[in-house]
Structure 1
Amino acid sequence: MDKWIELVKDKMGEIKITQEELGERVDMSQGGIGHWLNKRREPSIEDMNKVLKALGMDFLEVAMVLRERLDTPDDEMPMAQKYNPYFRYPVSDWQETGICEDEPGQYRFELTDYYARGAAFWLTVSGDAMTAPSGLSISEGMLILVDPDVAAEPGKLVIAQWSSSSEAVFRKLIEEGGQRYLVPLNPTYPKALFTDECRIIGVVVQATIKF
């Protein structure tokens, strides 16, 4: 709920829309919108998604998840429905990373509870350049979530692309001796100097695997 509220408030500020104007778009009073955004009342999942759509964020979706809770003295319900903001982001490809807002129907979507700062998208890891013998390792077939608006600082996992290449790469950004490099987690692959000919498409903020 908090993530949804933060997302809605940020977007309202970005497009300069008032609570009253938002209410008109979703057939709700200004007071009702205010109750939701101040957590005095909880909107239904349907209403939360109507608000996202009204703000032009059709690519996001709030979903309900079922979780089993452990029994405690204060908890007499072994099963409970938990409402948790889940967002959906499109699955892109390595040749055309990102999303084309004019063609939303061409994508499949995956859910996550990560609230993106920008127009986030998923990629499916290809190859073993980021498969490490120990420690952090992201293997082929895993899904990685890329947020273009997260600052690409040394130590972050990033998606980068050279101007001479039609395909992006997945690497770790590091800094050594005042120079920045793109480094694979697999030590059998070479590291590359990060130059002006290379751009960072986004920072990898989450990795998951589908069964």
Structure 2
Amino acid sequence: MDKWIELVKAKMSDLKVTQEVLADRLGMSQGGVGHWLNKRRQPSIQDMNRVLRALGMDFLEVAMVIREVLQDDEPCLSHKYNPYFRYPVSEWREPMQLRDGELAVYGKPRFELTDYHAQGAAFWLVVVGDAMTAPTGVSIAEGMMILVDPAIVPEPGKLVIAQWSDSTEATFRKLIEESGQRYLVPLNPTYPKALYTDDCRILGVVVQATAKF
């Protein structure tokens, strides 16, 4: 919410758009716009996107986000005030691979925006299947978009994207450790867990999941 307000106010200043003008574009009262920008009321996701479109920022979209909080240092000013980064969307059946530190991209890639500043050559995947849909707690449903960062260390407890040596498909699971052995575990209890062996390699750690409306 705070970043959305900062972005909207900065754009209004650049365009010299007053609250009255913005309210007129939205078909609402100036007081209503003022309540949003002063945090007296919280707009819906739909209203937040309406404001972005009214200010000519159709290329941005507000979405519900579930993400892991990383204990990093305070971001630099350029990241704080320009917090949007874009990463390519990969195919589930052939997730992107790193070659010489760069992503191997085939054809014309599609990109999605996020405020997450990746440590590595990150990429998006659209979740296929319900193996990570849980009855309670963290649940990642089919169709949600997940951001994968290959530079994050895949420690037990992380959600990871793995790939078996005899398959080109991505496997989305939680990495856990029991009695010194690691397993790839689904959040959906109806699916079996798998022993993590040398036949499997982890492509990256899932750092963000989004559902668009």
- Pick the TM interval, shorter chain: 0.5 to 0.7
How high is the sequence identity, in percent, across the aligned residues?
A: 70
Q: Give 3-state SS (helix, strand or coil) of 2:205's partner.
A: strand
Instruction: List per-residue Cα deviations over 1:42-99 (Å, max 9, x = no partner).
Output: xxxxxxxxxxxxxxxxxxxxxx942653268xxxxxx9x9943200000001222126
- Within 1, Cα distance between the matches of 2:203 and 2:37? 39
Distance 1:188 1:103, change over 3 A: closer
Question: How much has 1:124 moved relative to structure 2?
Answer: 0.3
Distance 1:101 1:195, change over 3 A: closer
- Contact 1:98–1:120, Cα closer than 8 Å, also in 2: no
Q: How many residues align?
A: 141
Report the secondary structure of 1:95's partner residue: coil
Partners of 2:104 and 2:168 in 1: how far apart?
21
SS of residue matched to 1:202: strand
Contact 1:174 1:183 in 2 (8 A): yes
- Counterpart in the other structure of 1:87: 85
The answer on whether the counterparts of 1:143 and 1:207 sit within 8 Å (CA) in structure 2 is yes
TM-score with structure 2 length normalisation? 0.60
Q: CA 1:71 to 1:183, structure 2 compared with 1: closer, same or farther past 3 Å?
A: closer
Which of 138, 141, 151 is 2:140 aligned to? Answer: 138
TM-score, normalised relative to structure 1: 0.61
**C-alpha distance in structure 2 between counterparts of 1:91 and 1:122, whole Å:** 4
Q: Which residue of 1 aligns with 2:8?
A: 66
**Native 8 Å contact 2:183 2:193 kept in 1:** yes
Structural RMSD (CA): 2.5
Long gaps (5+) in structure 1: 1-63, 73-78
Instruction: For 1:171 and 1:201, locate their aligned partners in 2 and report how far apart those are by CA, in whole Å.
Output: 12
Q: 1:119 corresponds to which residue?
A: 121
Task: Confirm whether residue 181 of structure 1 aligns to residue 183 of structure 2.
Answer: yes
* Cα displacement (A) at 1:163: 0.3
Gap change, CA 1:135 and 1:102, over 3 Å in 2: closer
Q: Which amino acid aligns with 1:157?
A: L
Letter in 2 for 1:206: Q
Alignment correspondent of 1:198: 200
In 2, the alpha carbon distance for the partners of 1:125 and 1:95 equals 11
Structure number with higher relative contact order (C-alpha < 8 Å, ≥ 6 residues apart) = 2
